[in-house]
């Protein structure tokens, strides 16, 4: 388990959750974690841990079931002329106060009564609370009276994690404006920047909001300057607010009305509605969240999804107030949901355009993309009999997650399992955890790998995400690997350690800019494979938590890569094979054999552990056989260390795979991932 959590920490610092991870039972919503996720933080995780504990024992409710209704149905539909509609989202770095502000907006507009509020409405799933990540994208419709005119304000929540930047871009495309919330005691962070750029690309009106001005350390003026310098956004009328104390909320609502333009009135055109979210409901099928861009949609309409090319009848349509409220029709500019007996979210993918079957729009809305998994790993049930259960569970999760890909994989060492593709590491960890906790499976996970492109002598290019399937050296001419561009924002004291980190990970320096006197932005290009692991962890620890980062996919580049095999007791262990850069092969081989020696329990016989390139052994260790006096001997030495090892082994026993005659624990399969730290 520890190994798994550590790898998760590569993207999500979960330190604070470690404790409750072992001791607290978890309760999950039947709804899947959706694609929207934000990076968590230590503080948030702690708070989440507390909430998770306090809610233990109560099965969580689906978002639509949360008991909120106080105002009567018709009033909640809030029909107003299109000129009085405002669609907006909130862009913020983790912990800068997005949820707190959203809750205050809902409260101030009477959308949600204070006494009805859960801890925070916009993230009401336990998985979210527990992990400190925003999982379900949601939308809320608010009524606000400004200068005696009723307005309808639609807040569309956005995921914040870079694994889901496509989903963010689609949510932004459903809005005309955005609140840019920045913690006035902190400043602009990398994640904020990336989302602001997305918002600018979507031509949104951006309203800067400086939050947490109640804090003694708040420096709204300095942070305003920072936003102006970094983002180039006029901050002369930035709103100073405290979401916690309720200061500045009316100013924000007024600014939404005054500064964000209303949607265009294109209700007469053929229907085009943008799907910005969807989730699977076991009773009603997929629930699609959409924004009507052109035209009108009515209950019962025969609709057509332009990317998936499927047609349905819109059995139910409605608005989100924020619980679902049925309506008869929705016009251009409005935000709503529909249910149409759709069987899987893959058929109602975010970014798809809904039109009428009988009056199709000429062009679909721009920006649609298929989900492309970037990170792959093998998942094998510890108990071979559970293979069908694993398949069922993956199929169920896929109903709700269009980005999850999987295909059966068989390995001599591991038996039957699946090779699964994910958008990123966080996505991978969420799926693994759900399989274990909700479906009660005990899994062995192989180290994640990226997709390599192998150019073969016969002219073919094959994609390879499984090191054990890499074509033989004699059959290939070159290997290409995915590269990412990363931007790190850091106080200047940590520039050195962070550059060292990027350099160690085969990073190529691109640019450094001082965005303020004390903070710099550093850009590198580096192989994605070097980020899959503890990069984020390292970034946080080397900067004492002060740096933040973003990455984006650049494309493929040729690299001098080789396959490193591991042999245990003379037997090649395919799931332990890795693809490494040739300059790192020796160091990785040495570290890996040493690590495995530590992790694999001693057997009744001597076990050689070797790292090889082709037939050549480049590093070798051997595990000596257990002898009767072994423990007494050890107790003469470092007792605590031995105890730790014994404890580790006891834990590891739960997850072992017999490789030949040797039991290999789960930790060994993840060791590859954590090696970098020790090699460098």
Ligand X SMILES: Nc1nc2c(ncn2[C@@H]2O[C@H](COP(=O)(O)OP(=O)(O)OP(=O)(O)O)[C@@H](O)[C@H]2O)c(=O)[nH]1
Q: Summarize as ranges the residues that interact with ligand X (CB under 6 A).
A: 38, 44, 92, 94-100, 123, 132, 134, 160, 211-212, 214-215, 242-244
Which residues 6+ apart lie within 8 Å of 189 measured at CB?
93, 94, 96, 489, 548
Least gap, CB of 429 to ligand X (angstroms): 16
65 is known to lie in a ligand binding site = no
96 is known to lie in a ligand binding site = yes
* Alpha carbons 674 and 533: distance in angstroms, whole number: 6
Q: Are 306 and 319 in contact (CB under 8 A)?
A: no
Least gap, CB of 256 to ligand X (angstroms): 18
What are 156's strand-pairing partners?
89, 139
When the beta carbons of 44 and 356 are compared against ligand X, the nearer one is 44
Q: In 3D, which of 162, 263, 99, 143 has the Cα closest to residue 549?
A: 162
97 is known to lie in a ligand binding site = yes
When the beta carbons of 101 and 399 are compared against ligand X, the nearer one is 101
Place of tokens 């984006």: 552
Least gap, CB of 624 to ligand X (angstroms): 49
Q: Are 536 and 163 in contact (CB under 8 A)?
A: no
240 is known to lie in a ligand binding site = no
- Report the run of H or E that residue 409 belongs to, with start and end: strand 405-411
When the beta carbons of 100 and 107 are compared against ligand X, the nearer one is 100
424 is known to lie in a ligand binding site = no
* Alpha carbons 490 and 487: distance in angstroms, whole number: 10
Least gap, CB of 105 to ligand X (angstroms): 12
Least gap, CB of 279 to ligand X (angstroms): 18
Q: In 3D, which of 442, 382, 377 has the Cα closest to residue 404?
A: 377
Least gap, CB of 42 to ligand X (angstroms): 12
* Alpha carbons 55 and 296: distance in angstroms, whole number: 42
159 is known to lie in a ligand binding site = yes
When the beta carbons of 160 and 482 are compared against ligand X, the nearer one is 160
* Alpha carbons 438 and 237: distance in angstroms, whole number: 48
94 is known to lie in a ligand binding site = yes
157 is known to lie in a ligand binding site = yes
- Report the run of H or E that residue 617 belongs to, with start and end: strand 616-623
92 is known to lie in a ligand binding site = yes
Least gap, CB of 235 to ligand X (angstroms): 18
Tokens describing residue 262: 């209303």
When the beta carbons of 134 and 138 are compared against ligand X, the nearer one is 134
* Exposure string for 584-608, b = 16+ CB within 10 A, e = fewer: bbbbbbbbbbbbbbebbbbeeeebe
* Alpha carbons 358 and 304: distance in angstroms, whole number: 9
158 is known to lie in a ligand binding site = yes
Least gap, CB of 186 to ligand X (angstroms): 10
When the beta carbons of 97 and 262 are compared against ligand X, the nearer one is 97
Peptide bond into 322 cis (omega under 30): yes
When the beta carbons of 123 and 487 are compared against ligand X, the nearer one is 123
When the beta carbons of 76 and 96 are compared against ligand X, the nearer one is 96
Place of tokens 């090699």: 679
Can you say which residues are annotated as belonging to the binding site for GTP? Answer: 92-99, 157-161, 211-214
Can you say which residues are annotated as belonging to the binding site? Answer: 92-99, 157-161, 211-214
């Amino acid at each position: 388990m520890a190994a798994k959590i550590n790898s998760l920490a590569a993207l999500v610092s979960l330190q604070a959750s470690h404790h409750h991870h072992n001791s607290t039972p978890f309760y999950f919503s039947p709804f899947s974690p959706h694609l929207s996720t934000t990076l968590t933080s230590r503080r948030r995780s702690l708070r989440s841990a507390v909430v998770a504990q306090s809610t233990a024992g109560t099965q969580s409710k689906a978002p639509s079931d949360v008991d909120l209704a106080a105002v009567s149905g018709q009033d909640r539909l809030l029909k107003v002329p299109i000129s009085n509609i405002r669609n907006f989202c909130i862009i913020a770095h983790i912990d800068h106060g997005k949820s707190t502000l959203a809750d205050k907006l809902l409260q101030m507009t009477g959308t949600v009564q204070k006494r009805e509020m859960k801890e925070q409405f916009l993230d009401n799933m336990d998985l979210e609370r527990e992990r400190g990540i925003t999982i379900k994208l949601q939308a809320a419709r608010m009524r606000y009276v400004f200068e005696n005119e009723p307005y309808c304000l639609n807040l569309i929540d956005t995921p914040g994690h870079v694994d889901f930047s496509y989903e963010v871009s689609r949510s932004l495309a459903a809005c005309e404006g955005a609140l840019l919330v920045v913690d006035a005691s902190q400043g602009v962070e990398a994640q904020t920047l990336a989302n602001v750029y997305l918002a600018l690309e979507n031509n949104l009106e951006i309203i800067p909001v400086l939050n947490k001005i109640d804090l003694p350390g708040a420096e709204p003026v300095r942070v305003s300057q920072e936003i102006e310098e970094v983002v180039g956004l006029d901050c002369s009328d930035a709103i100073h607010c405290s979401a916690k104390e309720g200061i500045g909320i009316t100013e924000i609502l007024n600014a939404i009305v005054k500064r964000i333009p209303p949607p265009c009135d294109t209700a007469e055109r053929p229907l085009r509605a943008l799907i910005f979210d969807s989730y699977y409901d076991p009773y009603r099928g997929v629930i699609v969240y959409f924004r009507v861009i052109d035209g009108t949609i009515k209950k019962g309409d025969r609709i057509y999804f332009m990317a998936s090319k499927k047609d349905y009848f819109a059995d139910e349509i409605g608005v989100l107030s924020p619980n679902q409220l049925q309506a008869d029709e929705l016009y251009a500019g409005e935000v709503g949901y529909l249910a149409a007996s759709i069987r899987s979210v893959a058929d109602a993918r975010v970014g798809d355009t809904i039109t009428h079957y009988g009056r199709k729009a000429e062009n679909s809305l721009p920006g649609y993309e298929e989900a492309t998994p970037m990170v792959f790993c093998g998942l094998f049930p510890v108990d071979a009999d559970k293979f069908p259960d694993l398949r069922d569970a993956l199929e169920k999760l896929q109903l709700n997650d269009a980005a999850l890909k999987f295909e059966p994989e068989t390995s001599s060492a591991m038996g039957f399992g699946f090779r699964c593709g994910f958008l990123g590491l966080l996505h991978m960890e969420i799926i693994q955890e759900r399989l274990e906790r909700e479906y009660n499976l005990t899994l062995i996970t192989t180290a994640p790998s990226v997709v390599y492109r192998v150019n073969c002598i016969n002219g073919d290019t094959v994609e390879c995400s499984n090191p054990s399937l890499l074509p033989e050296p004699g059959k290939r001419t070159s290997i290409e690997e995915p590269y990412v561009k990363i931007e790190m924002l850091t106080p200047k004291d940590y520039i050195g350690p962070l550059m060292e980190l990027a350099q160690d990970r085969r990073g190529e320096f691109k640019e450094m800019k001082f965005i303020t006197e004390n903070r710099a932005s550093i850009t590198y290009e580096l192989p994605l494979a070097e980020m899959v692991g503890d990069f984020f962890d390292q970034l946080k620890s080397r900067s004492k938590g002060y740096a933040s980062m973003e990455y984006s996919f650049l494309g493929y580049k040729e690299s001098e890569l080789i396959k490193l095999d591991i042999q245990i007791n003379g037997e090649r262990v395919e799931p332990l094979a890795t693809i490494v850069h040739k300059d790192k092969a020796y160091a990785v081989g040495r570290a890996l054999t040493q690590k495995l020696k530590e992790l694999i329990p001693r057997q009744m016989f001597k076990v050689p552990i070797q790292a090889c390139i082709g037939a050549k052994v480049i590093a070798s260790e051997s595990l000596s056989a257990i002898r009767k006096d072994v423990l007494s001997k050890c107790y003469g030495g470092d007792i605590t260390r031995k105890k730790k090892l014994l404890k580790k082994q006891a834990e590891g026993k739960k997850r072992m795979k017999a490789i030949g005659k040797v039991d290999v624990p789960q930790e060994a399969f993840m060791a590859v991932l954590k090696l970098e730290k020790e090699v460098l």
